[in-house]
Amino acid sequence: MQPGPSPHLRYRPEIDGLRAVAVLSVILFHADVAQLSGGFIGVDIFYVISGYLITKIIVGALHEGRFSFADFYSRRIKRLLPAAFFMLMATVLFGAIILAPDKWVELAKSAIYASVFLANFWFAANSGYFDQSAEISPLVHMWSLAVEEQFYLLFPVLIFLVHRRLGFAGVRVLIVFILVTSLLASMLISPSMPNIAFYLLPTRAWELAVGALLVLYPELAPRGRLQSQILSVAGFVLILYGLFSISEGQPFPGALALYPTLGAAFLILSAHSAGNVGQVLLTLPPVVLVGRFSYSAYLWHWPIVSYYRVYVSERAFSWQETVALIAASLVAGYFSWRFIEERSRHAKAPLSKIFLYATCAVVGMLAVPGIIYAFKGFPDRISVEARSIADSDLMWGWDCAESIRPFADSSEPYCVVGAEWAGASTRAIIWGDSHSLHWAPAFHALGAERNIAFLIAPLECPPYLNSDFVKEDYPKFPRFTENCTINHRKTVNWLNAQPDVSLIIMTAAWSGHVRMLYAATESLGSTNDQPLIDRPVGQGGDLSASALRQTLALLDLHDKRVLLLGDVPRPNRNLNECAFNELSSLLRARCTLPYEYLDAQRVREWQGSSNQVLERVALEFAQVEAIIPTSTLCDDAKCPTYLNGELLYKDTNHLRRNLHADTQRELAIKIGLADFLDSL
């Protein structure tokens, strides 16, 4: 087998044209061009291009017997590091004037990982690509460059070793093996472990291998003009289908990534033939120019977009803002390419100096975010009052009265609030998801006064979620139903064996969960392909009512009472940024949308179905009562977001736990919780 590529690559403008397609797809997607629901597949196109070009370089050098690791890595350093590190440093330093201390610390952590090409591991462990937190993380895009850098480190070594022992025939087998095993892993893991599948090299390597395949199997090239034209059209169709049909709610990469990767491969194979549609479109001068600075445009677009999103308090962009953000990304990319990329790429320096400069750059890039992390984001930049409504740790920080391990089959400690568990006159359990935790200070204040101990256990799940009754499609946590079913059965069994527990309080983000439910008899993967806030309630209300009835029927309610505690009015947007902007001197725009209150009609539309379920089920059981906070916290027009001068919320749906004790107590009185406990 003679692959025949030259180590001195003939310039192919259509490759730069394909780069332009990739980078514009990503930029438009991140700038909130809603029609481009699959714009993130531009990264997959980049991977095919990288696999193709890097393999062509390595195989060509091996073919001529002049491959050098030092030369290969020095070229990658000059090509990639200067522009990336300049962007990293500028992004981290800019955080000083726009980010709250805790957010600046998070940015510093991600910068440390990005500096050593491990950003994909950081984001796989800390946020999903489509999470709201990722939208305001200025370096989340560095995950894809980390995957490429890891590929550059490992791939040449593999090819070199296999070639030395088995020749190019062995290298061909190696590429097929990587492609098949990585693709299978991606297809298997994407539905169950979406973060790992999306961010890590083992489930992305097959996309790079597709590009390598084009070099090592020259027989794949089209024969004749007709074949070339067909492949070219097919390539565009596959990419366009992916851009407009794939969406963030679907398991990815997996099989869906075949659309952009095969589309890119078809265009690479066919576009070198003059006159076909791919060659004509991809070699248009403006398209080629964008492709030439696509790397820098990719580097700069996300810090620009995410920082602007922070500046406007995470609201949606207008079309004028979208256009401006796209233009700013391209302009920044052009200047970065022109004055950093091109100069460093063609700079002449001994290999020893190149590696020395790279080492110094990494050390410097680690030092700056390291200082930010060590000094906790320099909290004195803003007032204590501003920090109290912006710092997630402060807003959620709260100490339990004690911790106990109630379940015999689990050593996990659970929080007790109010009175001490052993000496309490009344023992209660608060059963639910994270909403059971945001009520902890209020229950503590009320319980301490009334000698009631509240055990908050278990956590994370709506109390009715058992796969025998109903299932929940939660794409971020693919095993959500399975894990909650275990918790459900464990809790029911424990409660039925605890006659001294006389009160069961069930609370959860009811209005969110009903939008993700499906019948226990169904077997579905990811049923929802829209953001949570946009999903219709559908049959979720009826399913939750049925599951809640079945849960209550399993419980021995003799000498027990049950309280169904509903949602507080749910903002479904972050109000804290707006409030923070008024209190801090950071670079922030004042909010144009009201944040001192919520529209009562919208709140009732969102929570109406789940509130009705709680009220309806409570009427069916003599021992069960319901409290619906929206009925007392909202008037006909508005639901105030402040009480006693304090913003109530931590984020889009949780209460702050650092509210003053008087505010916690007044909130509990206002919704009727204090009166309910007095009636025990």
Over the chain (680 residues), the average pLDDT of each successive run of 10 is 46 92 97 91 97 94 91 92 96 96 95 96 83 81 96 95 94 96 95 91 97 94 89 95 91 95 95 82 95 97 96 92 97 96 89 91 95 96 94 91 85 91 95 95 94 93 96 85 95 94 96 90 58 60 95 94 97 92 91 92 94 96 96 96 96 95 95 94
The DSSP output letter for 563 is E
Domains detected in the chain: 13-381 (no CATH), 399-569+603-634+668-678 (3.40.50)
State residue 528's pLDDT score.
45
Which positions ≥6 away from 7 have C-beta within 8 Å? 57, 60, 61, 63, 64, 66
Backbone angles phi, psi at 527, to 5 degrees: -80, -20
**Quick one: angle between helices 258-270 and 205-216, nearest 10?**
20
- Residue owning tokens 């916690």: 664
**Would you state the pLDDT for residue 538?**
65
pLDDT at position 250: 86
Burial class (CB in 10 A: 0-12, 13-18, 19+), 405: exposed
Beta strands in 548-613 (DSSP E): 561-565, 597-599
- How high is the pLDDT of residue 478? 82
The residue to which tokens 């984020």 are assigned: 651
Distances (CA, A) of 478 to 400, 490, 525: 30, 20, 8
DSSP strand pairing (470-472 vs 517-519): antiparallel
**Cα(603)–Cα(587) distance, rounded to whole angstroms?**
31
The torsion angles phi and psi of 426, rounded to 5 degrees, stand at -135, 135
pLDDT given at position 133: 67
